[in-house]
Chain A
């Protein structure tokens, strides 16, 4: 893999973690009126999975982290502004963590987890109609794997050979419940067989492994061969949402730090890039994060009456 690609991955992972940390700062500073679900420790999955997507490819995202959106080219400033309820945010302050940018194929973060499953099937139908070999990445967590619509959506995607790649970010926790207490079998990828699609479990803390596995599934989808399921195992370092009970996951978070995806990529990078090159990337990301914080804090609040705008389209 070229040094430029590795450096770009490094930049996006740093940005993903940095945006989460910036949001944590904003949250602690009382700038975020709602809740935030941080994906710190899981950056390899969103960045690795979305790294080679085209702009016209679609992603449907779960609650945790903004790496998918950032890798698809969304602005960290507009993400942070939205979380702060500002009119400059992606949803003009109406969504909070519900970030979307259809122009860039980022199709939303559902409030009820797992709604992504059928929505991804629908986007897959659109791809099939357009015949432009677009694909849909449908992200979910191991807790969400148990949503009622998961199975039927995978079934339908498979029946119609839709270009959807289901990506389970398995961090082992459904809010506060560990996987062994909620899920009958230890491997989410085993479920792929029930729906006639390939399934595999990969190391979700190694961005190169995630990238390679997802690209293979994307290739298959673009060729009209149908959906796949990729389970990426990783660790959740933070509670489900900031302020939520944290007790059970603490040990895992400590353990997770031994498998930090950013440190792991840095090891590969050390052989390719100079310290100077790494420092340049870090400085670039730091500057973006500083701007992000300031943009979010300094952006104007919406006018209350804007609450009444944008529900229906009337000609």
Chain B
């Protein structure tokens, strides 16, 4: 099988679906002539022209709102916001228009739009270029929240999003763009709401979100040598959420840890821990553990940044503590 980067996988998904469906178009800052600041949309302007690959001014709220306007009138926009940190600028457009306009209008319209954005820290981006905000978007009914971590998943999930009629937020961790992975030549999509068990295990379930998936896999592989069998569940899609896979795994292992890069307070882990408390309390043999970013903005300087963000080492520590609890 071919080995391509996460970024190339997204590019392929966009290109393949744009060839099939003339209603798909891309707009965002620097997506055209430059091919995106990280090269994700490289070559698409040349291939599809500037009607379908539109460089925009620096106007995030207007770009997202225009995406909604194009979607409700029949097109399939792919809007790129360079940093998810900037989605606050388009708060009304994301929270009130993208998420609600179908429901609020009695289902008389649909919003088949994909909002792609990069997220995450760990590269000295400081507080306004490092955030991981999926929990915020998960809280708003109406949005779908997709967060792949491998090239294979990124391509399959994006192709699914481009054939889906609901508004979808597609998160891409900034440190994963160059990560390579196996991606088949042939056509495939990955349905939403299906978590992927990245490592099977029997002692503890680690539900990992986004960038903590590779860290959790590395932790699992290390702990295996120490005789601890860790099951790693990659949620892949946060909305819809694959509760069944989580609950089934907890039933098997009796232990649960959630690893995410977002802040601990009201994070994805808080929701999953609550689900476990509601629906799997008698399967649990001890308290639920959470590994997440500390509740401060992400600081710039490397010693402080790595202190605040979760990583493989902290997941290993978290697993050991959870097993003791």
Contact = CB atoms under 8 A, between A and B. Distances in A.
Interface of A: 58, 60, 89-95, 98, 100-102, 107-108, 110-112, 115, 117-130, 148-149, 152-153, 155-156, 159-160, 309-313
B266 interface: no
Given A110-B96, A121-B69, 15 more contacts: A60-B69, A95-B104, A95-B106, A98-B104, A110-B97, A111-B104, A119-B65, A119-B68, A121-B62, A121-B66, A126-B70, A310-B103, A311-B103, A313-B102, A313-B166
B51 interface: yes
Interface in B253-285: none
Given A94-B105, A129-B23, A310-B106, A107 B72 contact: yes
B107 interface: yes
Contact of A119 (B66, B74, B104): B66
Interface stretch (B53-61, B131-139, B146-154, B304-312): B53-61
Interface string B67-82: 1111111110100000
A313 B56 CA distance: 30
B110 interface: yes
A152 B105 contact: no
A93 B109 CA distance: 15
B64 interface: yes
A309 B105 contact: no
Contact of B73 (A58, A101, A148): A58
A92 B106 CA distance: 5
B62 A107 contact: no
A299 to B, nearest CB: 14
A156 B57 contact: yes
A156 B59 CA distance: 9
Contacts of A153: 59, 62, 65-66
Given A115-B96, A125-B75, A152-B57, A91 B105 contact: yes
Contacts of B69: 60, 107, 118-126
Contact of A122 (B59, B73, B92, B109): B73
A223 B109 CA distance: 28
B50 to A, nearest CB: 10
B62 A112 contact: no
A148 B61 contact: yes
B104 A311 contact: no
Contacts, number: 144
Contacts of B23: 129
Contact of B62 (A91, A128, A156): A156
Nearest to A107: B72
The secondary-structure label for the interface of chain A is mixed
B184 interface: no
A119 B62 CA distance: 8
A33 B274 CA distance: 35
A311 B54 CA distance: 30
B59 A155 contact: yes
B196 interface: no
A156 B56 contact: yes
B61 A118 contact: yes
Q: Which 4 pairs of residues, A with B, have the shortest CB-CB distance? A: A122-B69, A118-B65, A119-B69, A91-B106
Given A128-B51, A152-B59, A313-B166, A91 B108 contact: yes
B61 A94 contact: no
B101 interface: yes
Contacts of B121: none
A94 B67 CA distance: 23
A107 B110 CA distance: 11
25 contacts: A91-B108, A95-B104, A100-B108, A102-B108, A102-B109, A111-B96, A115-B65, A115-B92, A118-B61, A118-B62, A118-B63, A118-B68, A119-B66, A122-B66, A122-B67, A122-B68, A122-B71, A123-B70, A125-B70, A126-B73, A127-B73, A148-B61, A149-B65, A153-B62, A153-B65
Contacts of A102: 72-73, 108-109
Contacts of B103: 94, 310-311
A123 B65 CA distance: 10
A129 B51 contact: yes
A122 B68 CA distance: 7
B28 interface: no
B70 A100 contact: no
B166 to A, nearest CB: 5
Contacts of A313: 102, 110, 164-166
Contact of A94 (B73, B106, B165): B106
A233 to B, nearest CB: 27
Nearest to B50: A160
A62 to B, nearest CB: 15
Contacts of B165: 313
Given A90-B106, A110-B97, A128-B51, A122 B61 contact: no
Contacts of A112: 92, 96
A107 to B, nearest CB: 6
A107 B102 CA distance: 11
Contacts of B124: none
B141 interface: yes
B142 interface: yes
